[in-house]
Amino acid sequence: MQRPDEQARTYLVTGGAGFVGSHFADVLLAEGNRIVALDDFSTGRMDNIDHLLDHPGFELVHGDITDADLVDELASGADVLIHLAASVGVKLILEQPVRTLENNVVGTETVLKAARRHEKKILLASTSEVYGKGRRVPFSEEDDVVLGATSESRWAYAASKMMDEFYGLAYHQEYGLPVVPFRLFNTAGPRQTGHYGMVIPRLVNQALDDERITVYGDGTQRRCFCDVADAVRAIAGLAKHPDAPGKVYNVGSTEEVSIRELAERIKIMTGSSSEIVLVPYSKAYQDPGYEDMERRKPDTRRVNSLLGWSPENTLDDILNRVISYVREQRAGATASRR
Ligand code: UDP
């Protein structure tokens, strides 16, 4: 929360119409700040920000993060840059490897150059994917990263985000730019779509449709899901803290659940009659070499000791919220068709 003595600031949020970006905008606008949201609507959605369009502190710019002139102009008018725009989600990466690399490497380079020219603090979104096949759980920021062969597109995503981190840290080291890369672990909540593979919205939609609930592999793989509201609180805290720059931060929950158990909970909480089925990875991802992570759990001591941050919401809170959101969306869609 903004302290009363804190000044309102202007945040340029790339990917501002996306899942995380739109929640960030909600929270920071409520504190009295200004938000300039830049989005190319490749995965961002108007639905996510419709409610903000009339807000006097909100400005939407439809454009691309690789458009250097545009990014430069927007950066000059902002106090802080929050770079969330990226190609995310395993499905998208497997389908569009070239676009992923362009967005994630060239896009970040463009935003970093603009931040440097105008001497602005910049937060860079990275991902727990960079831990790759690491087995030392929980994952800590200084751990080695273990990626697979370059013939597997899946690893292009992790490598592109690692480049972003290297780039950001290099700008910090060489030019003294205040850069804060943060690694988002599995994050969930309202507005996340299942179109790009994310498991919670996919399974909730399947359960509500009484369709088969698809658990990939044997369902023993484990994840920790962080509520997007908690993740946004961490990002805002890092954006405001003067000592955050120059280090990478894990942002995620430490409450572990197996995907099988997740499916069972969703089935019970929705009162669904769906059958839970196991789908082999080869079929799920149409990629014979696909490797899933068995466990993914963050060590969050770094962000906790800097900000005193830890998640406030449990997995059940997240599921309740997502289920209500999907139900409301469906009721709205039905009403507007009448
Ligand atoms: N998953 C699943 N069924 C689905 C979609 C995903 O069992 O319909 C699994 C996926 O294989 C992974 C976990 O759920 O083990 C989380 O997937 P997601 O894509 O949400 O995030 P990831 O952890 O893979 O980045």
Confirm whether 169 is domain-assigned.
yes
Q: Mean pLDDT check: name the lowest of 34-38, 129-133, 223-227, 290-294.
A: 290-294
End-to-end C-alpha distance for the chain, whole angstroms: 41
| Residue nearest to ligand 1 atom 11, measured at CA | 216
Domain of 56, CATH number, reads 3.40.50.720
With bands split at pLDDT 50, 70 and 90, how would you rate the model's confidence at 292? confident
List CB contacts of 119: < 8 A, sequence separation 6 or more.
177
Query: What are the two backbone dihedrals, phi and then psi, of residue 141, each rounded to the nearest 5 degrees?
Result: -55, -30
Instruction: Give tens-digit pLDDT for 81-118.
Output: 999 999 876 677 788 889 889 999 999 999 999 999 99
Q: How many CB atoms lie within 10 A of CB 211?
A: 13
Question: If you take atom 10 of ligand 1, which residue's CA is the nearest one?
Answer: 216
Predicted local confidence at residue 1, as pLDDT? 63
ω into 56 cis (within 30 of 0):
no
19: amino acid identity, one letter: F
Alpha carbon of 270 to ligand 1 centroid (Å): 19
What's the whole-number mean pLDDT along residues 176-183? 98
**Which stretch of DSSP H or E encloses residue 184?**
strand 179-184
Query: Tokens at residue 166, please?
Result: 């290297």
Using CA atoms, how far apart are residues 288 and 154, in angstroms rounded to an integer? Answer: 12
Provide residues with CB under 6 Å of ligand 1: 90, 186, 197-199, 202, 214-216, 221, 223, 259, 292, 296
Could you report the per-residue pLDDT of 245-286, keeping only the tens digit for each? 999 999 999 999 999 999 999 999 999 999 999 999 988 887
In a domain, 181, yes or no: yes
Q: Which of 242, 252, 307 is nearest to 140 (CA)?
A: 252
172 in a structural domain: yes
Domain extent, residue 101, equals 10-191+226-252+298-312
Q: Is 325 in the active site? A: no
pLDDT band at 178 (very low <50, low <70, confident <90, very high): very high
Cα separation values, 23 from 236, 239, 240, Å: 11, 15, 17
Tokens of 15: 């990917």
Residue 67 lies in a domain: yes
Do residues 139 and 298 make contact, with C-beta atoms less than 8 angstroms apart? yes
Q: Residue 169 C-alpha to ligand 1 middle, in angstroms?
A: 30
The residue that leads in pLDDT, 58 or 283, is: 58
Catalytic residue among 11, 131, 157, 196: 157
Query: Of ligand 1's atoms, which has the minimum distance to the CA of residue 91?
Result: 19
In a domain, residue 40? The reply is yes
Examine residue 91 and state whether it is found in any structural domain, yes or no: yes
| CA gap 245, 242 in Å, rounded | 7
Rounded to whole angstroms, how far apart are CA atoms 187 and 307?
Answer: 19
Domain count within the chain: 1
Q: Which of 194-198, 200-204, 243-247, 311-315 has the lowest mean pLDDT?
A: 194-198
